[in-house]
Chain A
Amino acid sequence: MTGTTWQRLKSDPLGVGGLCVVVLFALVALCVWSGLLGQGWSEVSGERWENASSDHWFGTNLLGQDILQRTLFGTATAFEVGLIVTACSTILGTLMGALAGWYSHSWLDELVLWLKGVLDSIPFYLFAAAVAFALQGNPWAMHLAMIVTFWTTTARIIRGEVMRIKEREFIEAARAIGLPGLVTVFRHVLPNTFHILLVQGSIVFVAAINTEVILSFLGLGIQDGVSWGLMLAESSQEVLAGHFGNFAAAGGSLFLLLMGFNLLADALQDALDTRRAIR
């Protein structure tokens, strides 16, 4: 990110707000991973359905587990899923998109487009359920389902961008001096797609967190641990009995983080778009 982009981002108050929210949640996730927070998520530390108190800020659930601890741990779960899925699907999508774009209208391009068409034609949650079923009990089933389906959008965008860039003069020059095709792609084409990947990555991150919550709610997600989706699933039985701790904590956290990410992604898109900046 250039200094100019950073300046543009800083001048967008909503973007800065979004960034603060994301950074705050990221810090929480870091603290959980480093063992400073949320380690007591599975311990029974109170009585059933205790109200919010100084001991339990968000109250307790049916088992007497502290809802705050579970919410904090759920943040780490969300970030873990978001990071892994974003990294893997972005790398995969970039590679596939770059190859398809560079060798456009070749059999390789056709193959990538066909694969993308096939994967896009399968309803996502049905696909996730099938993967979860096929890899029964595997803690990575959910991640795999998301990576396998999320790369296609990134690939489509990168393919178009690569096709555009490869017609530019500096690529013509690279070809003229005899630089091998793949070296040109990785050294000169892909670095010019970074701004797109940044925005697309933030969109995938949001989608991954969202999907994790939905899959966990449906019982197809997190196996051992806790996530906001599991907390929301628990709350579906508690709300009827008048206990809203799980619902408020998990729903509120999810809302805040997704809102933060969306504001940040919008601001990033604006900051990286040179045409908008000129206008």
Chain B
Amino acid sequence: MLKKIQIALLLALLILVCCGEPPATNGGKPAKVYRHAMDGAPGSLDPAQAASLYANFIVVTLDDTLYRYKYLARPYQLQPNLAAAMPEISADGLQVTIRIREDVYFMDDPAFANGKGREVKAQDFVYSIMRHFDPETRAQGAWLWQNRIEGLDRWKEQGSDYDSEVTGLRALDDHSVQITLTKPFPQLIHTLTQGYAAIVPREAVEAYGQMLSNHPVGSGPFRLASRDSARAVLTRNPDFRQQPFDLADEGYDPASQANLGLQVLQDRSPPFVDRLEFEFITEDAARWNAFTAGEVHFIKVPVSQFDNVLSQRNPVTLSPGFDGMYHFEASPESGFVYTNFNMDDERLGIHPDPEQNIRNRALRCAMVKAFDWDKRNEIFFYDIGRVFPGAIIPSVPEFDPAGDASYIQRDLKGARELLQANGWDEETLPTLEYGFPNSVTERQIFEQFRNFMMDAGYPSAKIRPMIFATYGDYQRAYSQGKVTLINSSWTMDYPDAENLMQLYYGPNSAPGSNSANYKNPEYDRLYDISAAMAESPERTENYRKMNQMLIDDCVSINGISRTLLFLWDRNAIMKPDRSFLGGYFLRFVDLAEPANTTP
């Protein structure tokens, strides 16, 4: 009997060994496996639906875009990726011609004839952009090119037939694309760096349909091996093009980046690791524990750990326990947090009665004065966020360091006087709804806001929470103008201040990105003029004037740019990014000690 049990156990062991995941190897050497912790999971991996930061992160490692940002250069600089060079732009700025590299192939996939990946052609780019205007794709990136490219919106209206041509989006030959714009759009090339603009083969879309979201086929350095709600595993694309890494070309700065060990990448062709593993861990505590236990190489430090991790906030300095153990970066976000007033709400926004209109403006301005940015920064951003007046964030060149600082200084006395002078008291003040998606932090932010207002004499019962189950529900509600006080944030899509100013552009009112529903003809006029301009002193002046209009009209309580803290394993050779470069940096990740990288 005992012998039978032993045999059974041996057989079970044999089955386990045979059926388990094969050991990661690379030609006999231990495989290099880089593990990346993310605080959320992607929905779809179809570039047309890559709306979230998480999806975008993975999409750009699986697929290619025509352009990207230089890996190491800050401020960000554009760089050709699948494009052979920077675009040729006509003198009137309306015609953009882009040459595409000739050595790029899609990864092998059964969707192709004989399963062999074919060359990436100009027609693939045209097709990939057209998909955004095909209702069947359920794409989310069309807004980037809406009313910008000649004939593209009309193509959609006429039924999205891929066999009919779009006049403003044409493949001149297999390796040339010509885009004709309806009006100058200097930000076009920035839009072509995004996951939305990643190139997919028509064969794969037709073969997999909606399942493309789980079966991506691109030309990137990695291919998807597996994915579920907790993790995604990407393996090296063995046929990825040879494209030697050049430090100088990527904007390497020896003064600030020498300690990252990036020099070993010089002249080698990415990808440098055999496998990328993404761990989707939404719980801060679990993600932090995974990092400190060495289960993942990288983490965006949860705010609740800032006290542990930092010994000093200004300048941001690591605690002795962490210093030397990890690489570290404090990175200002490319966006900001704000609380918009819904200007369409007559209780505090624009009112048909001019007198009431003046009183409403006074109410908004009093609320701005009552808001305590120092406290907000201290409690929720550990005093390392940067507070600024208006909508132009400090990291863009248009930012005015000499801007109206009084807008972000708390003035309780001024707030009370303003209310009193305009006939607002506990009786007459309107009951307002403050919207937020359901989460502990959002509720705390609301309670703090209500406290600020209470300090200025606003009755607690007159500022009510309006809670939504998900951020999507909340966004839908405020996009439809159903929320009066809108606490939200904006992350720039590309490093151009136009992407900030459009947040208050009248035609972008609900359901567009102008959630404040601000409509100022002068602001809109300046926006129309400036949006077609490249960065210049004249444009800067216009944007600053527009920013001052936002301040004068008290449209929003804004704003603060958060500082993100990144920690990563000293064996991981990389410079992480969560901004415009996004997941592109994962193409260039390497590990110093492969022997220690397998589980």
* Residues on A facing B (Cβ under 8 Å): 42-44, 48, 62-63, 65, 132-133, 136-137, 219-220, 223-224, 230, 233-234, 236-238, 240-241
Contacts and interface: CB of A to CB of B under 8 A. Distances in A.
A136 B468 contact: yes
Contacts of B469: 132-133, 136, 219
A234 B438 CA distance: 13
A225 to B, nearest CB: 9
Contacts of B467: 137, 219, 223
Given A223-B467, A237-B284, A42 B451 contact: yes
Contacts of A236: 285, 440
Instruction: Rank and list the top 6 A-B pairs by shortest CB-CB distance, nearest first.
Output: A219-B438, A240-B285, A241-B304, A44-B451, A233-B440, A224-B465
A44 B308 contact: no
A183 to B, nearest CB: 46
A241 B305 contact: yes
Contacts of B210: none
Contacts of A44: 448, 451
Nearest to A230: B443
Interface residues of B, number: 29
B71 interface: no
A42 to B, nearest CB: 6
A44 B284 CA distance: 26
Nearest to A235: B440
A125 B467 CA distance: 18
B526 interface: no
Interface string B295-311: 00000001011011000
A65 B447 contact: yes
Interface residue SS majority, chain B: helix
A43 B284 contact: no
B441 interface: yes
Given A219-B438, A219-B467, A224-B464, 10 more contacts: A42-B451, A44-B451, A48-B379, A137-B466, A137-B467, A234-B444, A236-B285, A238-B304, A240-B288, A240-B304
A239 to B, nearest CB: 8
Given A42-B450, A63-B448, A133-B469, A240 B440 contact: no
Most B CB contacts (10 A, CB to CB) among A65, A133, A240 go to: A240
Nearest to A65: B447
Contacts of B285: 236, 240
Contacts of B284: 237, 240
Interface in B481-521: none
Contact of B307 (A136, A233, A241): A241
B88 interface: no
A186 B440 CA distance: 47
Interface in B264-291: 284-285, 288
Contacts of A48: 378-379
Interface in B448-492: 448, 450-451, 454, 460, 464-469, 473
B451 A237 contact: no
Which of B308, B379, B454 counts the most chain A CB atoms within 10 A?
B379
Contacts of B438: 219-220
A251 B517 CA distance: 44
Contacts of A42: 447, 450-451, 460
B97 to A, nearest CB: 50
Contacts of A133: 469
Contacts of A224: 464-465
Contacts of B52: none
B146 interface: no
B451 A43 contact: yes
B439 interface: yes
Given A237-B304, A240-B305, A241-B304, A136 B465 contact: no
